[in-house]
Structure 1
Amino acid sequence: MRKISWLFLLVALFSSTAFAGQVQERKSSEKPTMKQERIKPPSNAWYSTGQIEMLIWRYCEATTQYGPEREQPFCNWWMDR
């Protein structure tokens, strides 16, 4: 059960970043530069950094309330930071 919930959390985080970053098409006359450009999420993204942090916080609260035997290292780090 615990592995499934971690898998769900990871899939949710990776899918949100995959949908947020959109590849920007270049014009044929435009040459790519050596410097990599950071792809910014669109302004109409369905999430924000604060929403992702809140989801992680709620997940960690839900998994650590069952006692120390159910605590997870990532959640301990996340809640103590």
Structure 2
Amino acid sequence: MRIVNYSEFRNNLSQNLNSVNDDREIVIVSRTQGKNVVVMDLDEYNAIQETLHLTSTKSNRKRLEEAITEMNNNKFLRNKLIEK
């Protein structure tokens, strides 16, 4: 995560956005007037949103935790793929 002031971000906009996209770098833009903002890659944002959705209910969280525990304890079934 990198923190830059607004002027630096604006003056190096292309470089900053490339860093966000290419390196998955999260950039915090510090502003003297107003609230700071976060700039992140869209795929990263979508992944966070999906995680929030999947863990939004107690039953989903429980099921995911159980699946992770089973996977970590090698308690899962392996099936061959059906080829057509």
TM-score using structure 1 length: 0.28
Q: Which has the higher strand share?
A: 2
Q: Which of 1 and 2 has greater Rg? A: 2
TM-score using structure 2 length: 0.28
